[in-house]
Structure 1
Amino acid sequence: MPLFVYGTLMRGERSHGLLGRACYLGVARTARSFELADLGAYPALVRGGSNAVLGELYEPDRETLASLDVYEGCPDLFRREPILLDGGAPCEAYLMPAGQALGCPRIDSGDWRARRR
């Protein structure tokens, strides 16, 4: 299943190299059922909001996915779970349980890169 990334793993961001040779499938947007929390150095995708989050879609191999799980602190900090994109296509993404993101500011635009503007 494709992997949706929305923060430091996107092209041009500091952790993009961790995707290795994963095939880039293009720009994508989630269904309108999430929040994007700003944790300072990185964002967190959280279920239960009403925003669409902008990101990129990749097709990583098993080895890359296993490395990303370690990097993302899966399953303790983030959990890799199935989600739906705008239009209904399924993919996986790293989500943070809502309780862990309490009190963190939200990025209402759903765009990690736009937070700096």
Structure 2
Amino acid sequence: MPLFVYGTLMRGERSHGLLGRARYLGGARTARSFELVDLGAYPALVRGGSNAVLGELYEPDRETLASLDVYEGCPDLFRREPIQLDGGAPCEAYLMPAGQALGCPRIDSGDWRARRR
């Protein structure tokens, strides 16, 4: 299943190299049922909002996915779960449980890169 990334793993961001040889499938947007929160150095995708979040889709191999799980602190900090993209296509993404994101600023645009603008 493709992996949706929305923060520091995207092209041009500091952790993109961790995707290794994962095949880039293109830009993507989630269904309008999430929030993107700003944790300072990185964002978190949280279920239960009403925003679409912008990101990119990749096709990682098992080894890369296992490395990403460790990097993302899965399953303690983030959990890799199935989500739906705008239009209904399924993929996986790293999500933070809503309770862990309480009080964090929201990125209403749903775009990690636009937060600095």
SS of aligned partner of 1:80: strand
Task: Note the C-alpha offset of 1:91.
Answer: 0.0
Cα RMSD after superposing both structures: 0.1
* TM-score (norm. length: structure 1): 1.00
SS of aligned partner of 1:105: coil
SS of aligned partner of 1:64: helix
* TM-score (norm. length: structure 2): 1.00
SS of aligned partner of 1:10: coil
Task: Note the C-alpha offset of 1:38.
Answer: 0.2
CA distance in 2: counterparts of 1:108 and 1:57, whole angstroms? 21
Give the count of matched residue pairs: 117
SS of aligned partner of 2:111: coil
CA distance in 2: counterparts of 1:61 and 1:101, whole angstroms? 29
CA distance in 1: counterparts of 2:46 and 2:98, whole angstroms? 6
Give the 4+ runs in structure 1 shifted more than 6 A: none
Tell me the alpha carbon deviations over residues 29-77 of structure 1, each in whole angstroms, 9 at most, x when there is no partner. Answer: 0000000000000000000000000000000000000000000000000
CA distance in 1: counterparts of 2:103 and 2:80, whole angstroms? 22
SS of aligned partner of 2:13: coil
1:27 is the counterpart of 2:32: no
Structure 1 unaligned regions, length at least 5: none
